[in-house]
Amino acid sequence: MSRSTDAEATRGGLKIVEDATCTFCGCVCDDIELHVQDDHIVKAKKACVLGTSWFLNHEVEDVPSCRIEGRPASVEEGIERAAKILYEARYPLIYGLSDTTCESQRVAVSIADWIGANLDTTTSVCHGPSGMAFQGVGEVTCSLGEVRNRADLIIFWGSNPAESHPRHFTRYSLMPKGMFVPGGRKDRTCVVIDVRKTKSARAADVFIPIRPRKDFEALWTLRALAAEIEVDLEQVERETGQPLVVWQDLMDRMKAARFGVIFFGMGLTMTRGKHANSEALLALTRDMNRHTRFVCKPNRGHGNVTGADNVVSWRTGFPFGVNLGRGYPRFNPGEYTASDVLANREADAAMIIASDPMANFSQPAREHLKSIPYVALDPKETPTTRAATVAFTVATYGINVAGTAYRMDDVPIPLRPAFDSPHPSDYEILRGIERRVQKWYAAEVRSGRWEV
């Protein structure tokens, strides 16, 4: 992987990397100034609390680049063993991908194609239900630049950017002075809808506390009000926890807005209703365009989870939960998604790239993952790398490795690394694995086992 050097300079003995890109969250802020001393970053100007922690805590790990069954091994040995595990499996799973470059994601999809794997990304346990909803309803959307320059009504639904995307307010949504909102914050109205009064709610002009697990009912109440359909006062209050007058006030604000946007989070997708909640929100956004300009956007968590959606989509036609076992892609959330493939004890081998299902998946899924041979690639030690048959410590994308990451609004952004790592990038590991499985596959084709 080549490193970009066009934005580097030296000041007071420190290397300065201008316009570095933070890949911690989906904001993918690309205006960070890094001060680098040898092999660690001592300052990250403009970075938020999460970005600062991201940059300042990714030093070179003094650990082996590869471990096989817990014992240090060479990277070549690790690649050989990893390729063998995946190639010999009957139902291999490749999962993760949201914290690596698009270039690595592309190679991972190729490996899945060669070996007929089940391919899934962390999207399935993030905005996967929204991905299903996009297919059913469509998405009226825009870039964050349009929000910055135009939006005068900003709604956050089931999302807490004050803690999950700390620069969202200042860089993209609430605070900036934009072309059509020259007054910045005072030209914008902010509404937060959530089951608890989050830190984001404190920044809002209007906070609407909603009953837990009743987002679907609240969204359909708003759809009814948008269409001026009469609704039952008592039922609305009983179901949503708020009287109709609160929802009518919100609808009046939405209709009066010049440019409205709804940012929605996992408060919708992880709770009762899941994709039905996202569908209702997308449909409400579509409905609102009969009255004014209205868009919506999921607030994405991991740095390049949007890139994973894009890469898997342009390589297979589907964004996540894709099975290539028959030689062509099939998409079926609930069957080919990693949580299901593991909890149903179907996968007999796995490769986990830049994610930690051993900490984040359900107990039955974790128990099954622990029982099968699997490969893990991660810059840090995690419960997933600890239990892996083959674990690679890899260089960190955006800090040691160049490449491309997609911001949450599908805008691709180049990465400008700060210093080299002695560890290989996951791109190099994945390319090594791909070359081996390609070679074995070609040998089988030549021997007549497979028809091309």
Task: Give the residues lining the site for other proteins (CB under 8 A).
Answer: 24-25, 49-50, 53-54, 56-58, 120, 124-125, 128-129, 132, 160, 163-164, 166, 195-198, 209, 211-213, 241, 266-267, 269-272, 274-275, 301, 320-321, 333-334, 337-340, 343-344, 356, 358-366, 380-383, 386-387
Strand-pairing partners, residue 44, are 34
Which residue, 29 or 254, has its beta carbon nearer to other proteins? Answer: 29
Secondary structure E strands in 281-435: 293-298, 322-323, 330-331, 349-353, 374-378, 390-393, 403-406, 412-415
Cβ-based neighbours of 307, under 8 Å, separated by 6 or more: 98, 101, 102, 105, 404, 405, 406, 412
Given a contact cutoff of 8 angstroms between Cβ atoms, the answer to whether 79 and 427 are in contact is no
237's enclosing H/E stretch is helix 233-240
Nearer to other proteins, 7 or 387 (CB): 387
Smallest distance, other proteins to C-beta of residue 422, A: 18
Nearer to other proteins, 54 or 397 (CB): 54
Alpha-carbon span 450 to 391, nearest angstrom: 31
Q: Minimum CB separation from other proteins for residue 196, in Å?
A: 5
Q: Closest separation between CB of residue 30 and other proteins, Å? A: 18
Instruction: Report how far residue 246's alpha carbon sits from residue 343's, in angstroms, rounded to the nearest whole number.
Output: 42
The Cα–Cα gap between 317 and 139 comes to 17
Residue 412: φ, ψ to 5°: -75, 135
Cα(373)–Cα(348) distance, rounded to whole angstroms? 7
Closest approach, Cβ 338 to other proteins, in A, equals: 8
Task: Indicate the SS3 state at residue 37.
Answer: strand
User: CA 141 to CA 205: how far, in whole Å?
Assistant: 23
Shortest Å, Cβ 67 to other proteins: 15
Chain centroid offset of residue 451 CA: 37
Nearer to other proteins by Cβ, of 310 and 384: the residue is 384
Nearer to other proteins, 110 or 360 (CB): 360
Nearer to other proteins, 35 or 58 (CB): 58
Whichever of 103 and 340 has its CB closer to other proteins, that residue is 340
CA distance 444 to 438: 10
188 vs 366 by CB, closer to other proteins: 366
Q: What is the DSSP letter of 331?
A: E
Least Å distance, CB 255 to other proteins, is: 27
Q: Which is nearer to other proteins, 288 or 305 (CB)?
A: 305
Burial (CB count within 10 angstroms: exposed 0-12, middle 13-18, buried 19+), residue 117: buried
Q: For other proteins, which is the closer residue by CB, 145 or 209?
A: 209
3-state secondary structure of 126: coil
CB of 55 to other proteins, least distance (A): 8
What does the DSSP 8-state code read for residue 229? -
3-class state of residue 176 by DSSP = coil
Q: Minimum Å distance from CB 291 to other proteins? A: 31
Residue 53 beta carbon to other proteins: minimum distance, rounded to whole angstroms: 4
CB of 375 to other proteins, least distance (A): 19
CA 310 – CA 423 distance, rounded (Å)? 27
Coil, strand or helix at 94: strand
- Nearest CB to other proteins, comparing residues 213 and 435: 213
What is the Cα Rg of the chain in Å? 23
Residue holding tokens 């404190």? 202
Residue 315 CB, shortest distance to other proteins, in Å, is 19
